[in-house]
Amino acid sequence: MHVLLIHQLFATGDEAGGTRHFEIARRWTEAGDQVTVVTSPANYLTGAPTPPPDRLPAGLTVVRTGLGALASAAGRSGRRSVAARVAGFLRFAFAACRAGLFVRGVDAVWGTTPPIFQAPAAWAVARLKGVPFLLEVRDLWPDFAVALGVVRNRSAIRAAKALERFLYRRADLVVVNSPGFVDHVRREGGGEALVVPNGVDTAPFLAADRPAWRRQLGWEGKFVTLYAGAHGVPNDLEVVLRAAKLRAARAEPGRELFAFVGSGREMPRLQRLAESWKLANVQFLGPRPKAEMPGILAAADCCVAILKPIPIFTTTYPNKVFDYMAAGRPVVLAIDGAIREVVEAAGAGLFAQPGDPAALLEAVRAYRTDPARRARDGAAGRAAAARFDRQGQATRLREAVAGLVEQAGSAPDDRRGPPA
C-alpha cells in the first residue's frame, strides 16, 4: 500500500515539534508499506532546514515543495499577521497539490488539519487520482480560532465553517485524535469518526538517563517544574509564569525552577515578562529535537499541561500529556474535560483550575513536598501510557486505510510520473 500524506508541519525525530505522523509512517514502512509526504522545506518551529533524505527510514519519501514554508517559524510568527500566515498556508496548499499529482502509484491520500487549507489539496489530489481521501482532524478549526478571538470576521467564519463541513462530507474516512471531537464531527455532517488518539512512542522514555540529563541541564539539586510544547496564545503560559512569580517571593534561591521547552508566538512576550519580573527561577530552553525530549522530561520532577479556560478546549487530548506519562513524570493538569478523565483515571497527576496561578502552584507544591506521591503518580502514568502506545495506534489506522483501499478497489495510478 502506498499512502500520500500532505502535511505542511511534518517533523521527523531529529527535529523539534510533533512527530505523530513520522512515527506512524515509520511503522507503516516497517510493515512493508510506502509513505510519501509532501511538506515544506523547513522546520515549522525553528525555520531550520529539514534532515537529509538519507536519514529517513526505507520506504518513507519526503517531497519538499519549496513554497509555503512557515518562515514564521515560531520564533518569528508573532510578527506576522493572520492574513500573512493564511497566505503562507494557501501557497503551500497550491504547491502541495501540484507536487502530489506527480507522485505515482498512490493508493490513498491522507490530509491533516490544522492548518485546514492543506486538507482541500489532499482532497483534490485524491479525487483526481481516483483514490480514497482520509481526513485527520487534530483540532476543531475554525472553532478553536473563533473561541480565542483570532478570527472575528463573520464572513471569514462562515467561509471557514463551510470549508470544514465540505471536508467532513467529502472524506472517505474522518479520523480524530480525541474522543472529544467525535460529536462535533457528527454535528457538522462528518458521520462516525474513527478515534486514533494522540499517544506516545514509549520505548525511548524507558531508556532515558535522568541523572545524566540533570547534570547536562544544570538541574542537580533543584526541584524542576517543566512545561514542554507550543508557546502560543491557547497555551496560557502566562499563568505558569505568574505561578513562578508567586513562588519566587517565598522559595530559597536556586532550589526551584520553572523550565519552558518549545517555542511559539508568545515566547518573546513571556521572556520579556520574566525579565521584567526578575524571575531567577525561570528558564527558557527553546525548541529541542524530539529525540532529546525523553531525557529532558526524565530530568524534571513534575510537568505542566495547560490551556486557556475556554469550554471547547475540554475536548482536547494534548500529546504532551502522554509524553509526560511515558516519562514517569506526574502531571500538573490545568485542562478540564476529556484529558482530565484520562489523567485522573490513571492516578497520574493533579488537576489545577485552568487560568489560576495559585491553584497551579498548589499542585506543584503538593509534588514538591511529597516525594512518595510524586513517585507513585509518575509510575501510574507510565503504566497507563502503554495503552496509548504509538504501535497500536499505527496498526489501527493502517488497518482502516487498508480497508478503504480494498473497498474502493483502487489501483495505483502510474500515469502521473515519478515522485516529484
Q: What is the mean pLDDT of each run of 10 residues along the chain (420 residues)?
A: 95 80 94 95 71 76 71 43 78 93 96 92 96 96 91 91 96 96 93 92 93 97 96 96 94 89 95 97 94 96 98 95 97 98 98 98 98 98 94 94 87 43
Q: From 3.40.50.300, 3.40.50.2000, 3.40.50.1700, 3.90.1200.10, which CATH number describes the 203-387 domain?
A: 3.40.50.2000
Angle at 113 between CA 185 and CA 126, to 5 degrees: 90
SS3 call for 293: helix
Q: Supply the pTM of this predicted model.
A: 0.88
Task: Render pLDDT for 144-185 as a digit per residue (tens, 0 to 9).
Answer: 999 999 889 999 899 999 999 999 999 999 999 999 999 999
Q: What does the pLDDT read at residue 254?
A: 82
Angle at 57 between CA 55 and CA 63, to 5 degrees: 75
| CA distance linking residue 30 with residue 32, whole number of Å | 5
Q: What is the dihedral of CA 129, 134, 140, 145, to 10 degrees?
A: -30
| CA distance linking residue 12 with residue 168, whole number of Å | 28
Q: Measure CA 218 to chain center.
A: 27
Q: 238 is written with which cell numbers?
A: 502566562
The string over 2-19, giving b where at least 16 C-beta atoms fall within 10 Å of a residue's C-beta and e elsewhere, is: bbbbbbbbbbbbbbbbbb
From the CB of residue 48, how many other CB atoms can be counted at a distance below 10 Å?
12
| CA distance linking residue 348 with residue 330, whole number of Å | 6
Q: 208 is written with which cell numbers?
A: 532515558
All structural domains of the chain with their residue ranges: 2-199+389-408, 203-387
Q: Is residue 63 a contact partner of residue 39, using CB atoms and an 8 Å limit?
A: yes
Q: Output the CA torsion sign for 105, 109, 114, 115.
A: positive
Closest CA to 321 of 348, 296, 361: 348
Q: From 3.40.50.300, 3.40.50.2000, 3.40.50.150, 3.40.1390.20, which CATH number describes the 2-199+389-408 domain?
A: 3.40.50.2000
Closest CA to 227 of 251, 257, 200: 257
- Could you give phi then psi for residue 101, rounded to 5 degrees? -65, -20
Angle at 22 between CA 417 and CA 304, to 5 degrees: 150
Rg for the chain, CA atoms, rounded: 21
Helix axes 267-276, 237-248, angle to 10 degrees: 20
